[in-house]
Chain A
Amino acid sequence: MVGSCEIRPRRTAANTVLASRVAAVLIAQLVAGCVSLYVHDASTQKATSDAKTQFDALKLTAVFDDESQYIDGLQRDERAAVVAEFAAERDAELILLMQGSPQGFADGGLLASRLDGYLRSIAGKSDRAGRVKLWRIVADAYEKPGDEQALKALRADLAVRLNSVTEPANVTSLPSPGTGPNLADALAAVESAHKTLSDDQTAGKEAQKALDGALKDASSSLTSGPTAQSKFDKLAQQVNSALADANPYIRSYVSSSLADKVDSLIAASGTTSVKTPSTLTAEAKDGLTFVHAALGVGDAFSNPPRVPHPNALASVQAWLRYVESGAEAQINEAQADLATAKAQASAAVTQVYYLSRAAEALEAAEHSRKVGTEGRDPFVPALIYLADAWNRGFEPMAQIAVVEGPLAKRRAKLLQSRNAGTAWVGVLGPGVATLAAYGAGGLDPQALASLLQALGVGAIAVGVNK
């Protein structure tokens, strides 16, 4: 086999030159420890090229697109099923109330106990016996559904105003059919969700300022020396801590800002892997400082500082965008939590509003019966208000609790999985490209290998809500 390896063909002038070159290359390879030179292997090149073609054809997003469409369809089906369920439950309650009297009129006593029980569990008290009516207390929030200020104002004076509500005797609490929080808890949840978002946002802006300062400081001393190294170490600690922070605003601001700086570095370095810092823009210089300090890639202390190969920068970029999009997804989830809390508070307000109107209408009907002035079907207004409490309060609350809330979470998880998938492909892509092109040389596979090792990408399946 070795014998057939003939690299000394007949001596012509051209062949002599070629043979000399081959020999020189091989000796150079021996001297260099065979680090970066190798014999071309056509079959390996074909295999890596085919693998890259297949990788480029990878349809990872199809999985997420399919799931997204499925969730849309599920939402339609679930909504319809809950509507049907609540319509049937509402009718069953109305029928029960209408069966109360031989004439087919509603049973006033049963209706009163139902209204009292619902109001006690949802508002904290029934207002049927007194002159202070709950529907007037919640009227402003009822008229402005989802308005945070109105809900905040209601929460501020609900407890005080409830003191002036007179409850009938012997009220037994009845669980709300809407399977959601009561009014006080729903209002508290709105403020809590708002506060969390607001606090996180403020902390995020502070972290961004602090990091920008540290980056500028380290980047201004892009020269070798122990002082600069200590600055780089401090920066690395700060960056790594910010990118792993539980607060999504911190992760979002920091990763977005760093990704922009690496963008500038990629744009400035083009396809060359060496650039003097004096020719880099301030932002690109910051990017170089970051990749060196935080990831140990490139060599900012060499003279001139070495910019990592674009393939390595592309991996860093994919990773930063992943951190950023993961943080954005978490922010969206927190915002969705706030929207859900507001929708639940509005549904609870609506329940209280109509139940209180029903209780007032019932009292009016009872009074007219006592004085003998009742008309035909005196309980109809109360029943209509009760039906409204079902249609506009209980059923929407159930939709939020059973359908909208869980599906919002599921969409948020799907987005995170999609982001993770995109990041995996983004980080792996340059690696596959490196393998495919390694025959052509010119890459810095060691830097890329270090990066692939250093960049942790989150799991695809971040949780599948059921």
Chain B
Amino acid sequence: MRVPPVALLVALCSGCATPRPIVDTATLVGKMATQINDAVGGYVKQLQSARSDDADRLARTRARAAALDSVNRDQEQIWRVQNIKQPGELLSAIAAGSPTQSDVRAGGLMSTPVATIHFDGSPLQAVSKVAAQISAPKSAKDEFTVLEKFGEQVKDDVKSEAKTKQK
């Protein structure tokens, strides 16, 4: 079978171009991968900011509880020093059984370190990069390089097949 050289060259070059549907898919995959990466990255930042706010709010609540508790303990101390036992005993008896937070009373754990959250976006970045490579139009040089490699591969395949036949 004879193939005119010019037609063959055009055919070969067109064969190096990425098929349109694949380009479309790659474009959308790249776009989506970038969007996911940005969305998750932004989400993680928001979570981190919310955690800082949580830590501040908790510290404020604990500080307020500790401040109030301190005033209450002062009054109990005054009753003790004045040797007025009954009100202090009554208070303990009335409040008995109700839950209290010992570490807050002791002034401990007023603030907790902010827990950090992390997201590794490198897999999505890798997908975006490859998709961008596929969807980008190939330069003539790229096409010829692909063609050259393809040709070499065909040549190797032919040699390998010939060897197999000889054996």
Contact with B along A11-35 (1 / 0, CB 8 A): 0101100111011101101100011
- Please report the C-alpha to C-alpha distance between residue A89 and residue B157 in the assembled complex, in whole angstroms: 86
Contact A44 B117 (CB under 8 A): no
Q: Which residues of A contact B42 (CB under 8 A)?
A: 460-461
Q: Which residues of A contact B127 (CB under 8 A)?
A: 51, 54-55, 428, 432
**Within 8 Å of chain B (Cβ to Cβ): is A466?**
yes
- Please report the C-alpha to C-alpha distance between residue A73 and residue B129 in the assembled complex, in whole angstroms: 38
Contact B54 A466 (CB under 8 A): yes
Summed over the interface, the residue pairs from A and B with CB atoms below 8 Å come to a total of: 295
Contact B148 A88 (CB under 8 A): no
Q: How far is the CB of A336 from chain B (nearest CB, A)?
A: 19
Contact A55 B123 (CB under 8 A): yes
Known: A70-B117, A94-B91. A417 touches B43 (CB 8 A): yes
Nearest B-chain residue to A60, judged by Cβ: B40
Q: Which residues of A contact B68 (CB under 8 A)?
A: 85, 88-89, 91-92
Known: A41-B149, A59-B120, A435-B29. A81 touches B65 (CB 8 A): yes
Contact A87 B94 (CB under 8 A): no
**Within 8 Å of chain A (Cβ to Cβ): is B100?**
yes
Contact B15 A54 (CB under 8 A): no
**Within 8 Å of chain B (Cβ to Cβ): is A220?**
no
Nearest A-chain residue to B92, judged by Cβ: A91
Known: A84-B104, A98-B91, A461-B42. A91 touches B69 (CB 8 A): yes
Q: How far is the CB of A437 from chain B (nearest CB, A)?
A: 11
Contact with A along B36-72 (1 / 0, CB 8 A): 1001101110110111011000100110111011011
**Within 8 Å of chain B (Cβ to Cβ): is A445?**
yes
Contact B28 A431 (CB under 8 A): yes
- Please report the C-alpha to C-alpha distance between residue A166 and residue B28 in the assembled complex, in whole angstroms: 72
Known: A37-B15, A51-B130. A70 touches B151 (CB 8 A): no
Known: A91-B95, A391-B98, A428-B32. A445 touches B50 (CB 8 A): no
Nearest B-chain residue to A452, judged by Cβ: B28
Contact B95 A87 (CB under 8 A): yes
Contact B61 A82 (CB under 8 A): yes
Q: Which residues of A contact B99 (CB under 8 A)?
A: 83, 87, 391
Contact A38 B100 (CB under 8 A): no
Q: Which residues of A contact B25 (CB under 8 A)?
A: 431, 434-435, 438, 445, 448-449, 452
Q: How far is the CB of A196 from chain B (nearest CB, A)?
A: 28
Assign chain A's interface to a size class: 35 or more
Q: How far is the CB of A81 from chain B (nearest CB, A)?
A: 4
Q: How far is the CB of B127 from chain A (nearest CB, A)?
A: 5
Contact B101 A87 (CB under 8 A): yes
Nearest A-chain residue to B157, judged by Cβ: A18
Chain A CB within 10 Å, residue with most, of B22, B42, B44, B117:
B22
Contact A26 B11 (CB under 8 A): yes
Contact with B along A68-105 (1 / 0, CB 8 A): 00100110011011111101111110110011000010
Known: A30-B14, A89-B68. A435 touches B58 (CB 8 A): no
**Within 8 Å of chain B (Cβ to Cβ): is A58?**
yes
Contact A20 B1 (CB under 8 A): yes
Contact B94 A42 (CB under 8 A): no
- Please report the C-alpha to C-alpha distance between residue A83 and residue B105 in the assembled complex, in whole angstroms: 11
Q: How far is the CB of A90 from chain B (nearest CB, A)?
A: 7
Contact B15 A38 (CB under 8 A): yes
Q: How far is the CB of A189 from chain B (nearest CB, A)?
A: 25
Q: Which residues of B contact A417 (CB under 8 A)?
A: 43
* Residue of A67, A377, A427 touching B32 (CB-CB under 8 A): A427
Which positions 323-374 of chain A face chain B at CB distance < 8 Å?
none
- Please report the C-alpha to C-alpha distance between residue A466 and residue B48 in the assembled complex, in whole angstroms: 11
**Within 8 Å of chain B (Cβ to Cβ): is A160?**
no
Known: A24-B1, A44-B133, A84-B101. A2 touches B15 (CB 8 A): no
Q: Which residues of A contact B64 (CB under 8 A)?
A: 85, 88
Q: How far is the CB of A313 from chain B (nearest CB, A)?
A: 15
Nearest A-chain residue to B161, judged by Cβ: A14
- Please report the C-alpha to C-alpha distance between residue A383 and residue B3 in the assembled complex, in whole angstroms: 105
Q: Which residues of B contact A435 (CB under 8 A)?
A: 22, 25-26, 29, 130-131, 134
24 contacts between A and B (CB under 8 A): A5-B148, A5-B151, A7-B151, A7-B155, A14-B162, A15-B161, A39-B12, A39-B16, A54-B127, A55-B126, A60-B40, A70-B117, A80-B101, A81-B101, A88-B72, A91-B91, A94-B95, A390-B98, A391-B99, A446-B21, A449-B24, A453-B28, A464-B43, A466-B50
Q: Which 3 A-B pairs have the closest CB atoms?
A: A84-B101, A88-B68, A5-B151
A1-B148, A35-B21, A387-B94 given; 18 more Cβ-contact pairs under 8 Å: A12-B165, A29-B11, A30-B7, A41-B146, A42-B149, A55-B124, A55-B127, A57-B123, A67-B117, A84-B66, A84-B105, A95-B72, A383-B90, A428-B33, A432-B127, A434-B25, A460-B43, A464-B47
